Structure 1
Amino acid sequence: MTGYNAPSDSVRATVNAGRLWAGGAATAAVAALIAIVGILLGRGLFDVDVLAPKGEGVWGDADTGWYALGAAIAALVATGVVHVLIRTTPRPMRFFGWVVGLATVVAMLAPFLTDGSTGARLYTATLNLLLGIAIGSLVAGTARTATSVARPRSTPPPQYG
């Protein structure tokens, strides 16, 4: 079919796994810090009961640490997903965008399944949106820099005397 720029079967994407996973680890650290800063802002500045009742103070309870750990794990899972997609699918970044987008929507809806206050639910959903955007954009950017397209060399046409 002409006009369709499908990659040929001989074109392969190669991944610098070390670079990809180093970026994934850095993204995990950033995601954990975003979660902690978000909780501190919500509880300390906006007086919202994010993840714990008010009696737990600005740092909250053990849920604060678990939330930050969950954000870091989400970044590492996203790195694994993009690695598998690059190695196995056509247009891996398009699929990755859909996966991250839908996972972010699920994370945004999850607080509304709890019995927290409306303010806490909205704040947590917004924090989950920010985490999804950060994880998705950082992992995607790392994946783009860690991926190269390898095209086989074409053999030159035979030369006749």
Structure 2
Amino acid sequence: MTDPRRPGGPTTPTGVTGPTPGISQGAAPPPSVVPTSEPADAWDAPAPSSRGLLELDRRRYWSGAAVTVVVCAVLGLAASVVFDSAFDVGLLGPSRLVPDAPGLAWALTGALFALLAAVVLQLLVRVVPRPRMFFGWLVALVTVILAALAFTGTGDAASAVVTALVWVVVGVAVSAMLTGVLGRTLVRSAGPTR
């Protein structure tokens, strides 16, 4: 006879209580194993043809990209004003574009970097299966190259370090803003009609 309330476990026919073979005391039965997958970002996951394809809402994407270009231009201008004017540490590099106005040169450079990144990201959405991953790598590599170029000139070390820091900040800003814009502007098309 079995008494489930008894601490020793079920009673054996001889009246001795003990654990039941094959069942561990106090352990829950093993859960059923169901294969799960981590949820992927909606715009990184391949879209089944029955549900339609992921497409870019170009108007909203380019509105966000335009704001990103403006923010990066202001970021370049702010970096020039802060370091060139306030701290008297000359930034290296793009000031050669407009020699008389280094702030304008950095603003143009930040805007150009963001604009080119927006064009590349739109192209990646059309041709590769995981655009965010490739875009992140591209922006990171270009940022590292631009930051490293600051150390190749004959300028002083402080200017090189500050210039590299500005490139890193601009690269992070471009990547973060454009991937955020992309996440909000991909839409699923209706798919082919039958």
Please give the range of the TM-score, normalised by the shorter of the 2 chains: 0.7 to 0.9
Counterpart-to-counterpart distance in 1, 2:114 and 2:47: 32
Give ranges in structure 2 of 5+ residues lacking alignment: 1-34, 94-98
Query: Is the 1:51–1:63 contact (alpha carbons within 8 Å) kept by the matching residues of 2?
Result: no
Q: Give the direction of change, closer, same or farther, for the CA distance of 1:91–1:151 in structure 2 (3 Å limit).
A: farther
| Match in the other structure for 1:158 | none
Picking from 135, 140, 153, the partner of 1:114 is 153
- Normalised to the residue count of structure 2, the TM-score between the two structures is 0.67
Task: Quote how far apart the aligned CAs of 1:83 are.
Answer: 0.5
- Normalised to the residue count of structure 1, the TM-score between the two structures is 0.80
| Match in the other structure for 2:66 | 25
Counterpart-to-counterpart distance in 2, 1:147 and 1:73: 24
Give ranges in structure 1 of 5+ residues lacking alignment: 53-59, 156-161
Picking from 99, 117, 127, the partner of 1:78 is 117
Give per-residue Cα distances to partners, 1:77-121, cap 9 Å, x unaligned.
Answer: 111111111111101111111111111111111111222111001
Q: Give the direction of change, closer, same or farther, for the CA distance of 1:44–1:15 in structure 2 (3 Å limit).
A: same
After superposition, where does 1:1-161 map in structure 2 within 5 Å? 7=46, 10=49, 12-51=53-92, 61-150=100-189, 152=191
Query: Is the 1:51–1:64 contact (alpha carbons within 8 Å) kept by the matching residues of 2?
Result: no
Counterpart-to-counterpart distance in 2, 1:126 and 1:22: 28
Query: Is the 2:80–2:106 contact (alpha carbons within 8 Å) kept by the matching residues of 1?
Result: no
| Match in the other structure for 2:8 | none
Higher relative contact order (CA 8 A, sep 6+): 1
More off after superposition, 6-15 vs 98-107? 6-15
Counterpart-to-counterpart distance in 2, 1:35 and 1:125: 12
Aligned length: 147
More helix by share: 1
What is the percent sequence identity of the aligned residues? Answer: 29
Instruction: After the TM superposition, list the runs of 4 or more consecutive aligned residues in structure 1 that deviate by more than 4 angstroms.
Output: 2-6, 151-155
The one-letter amino acid paired with 2:120 is V
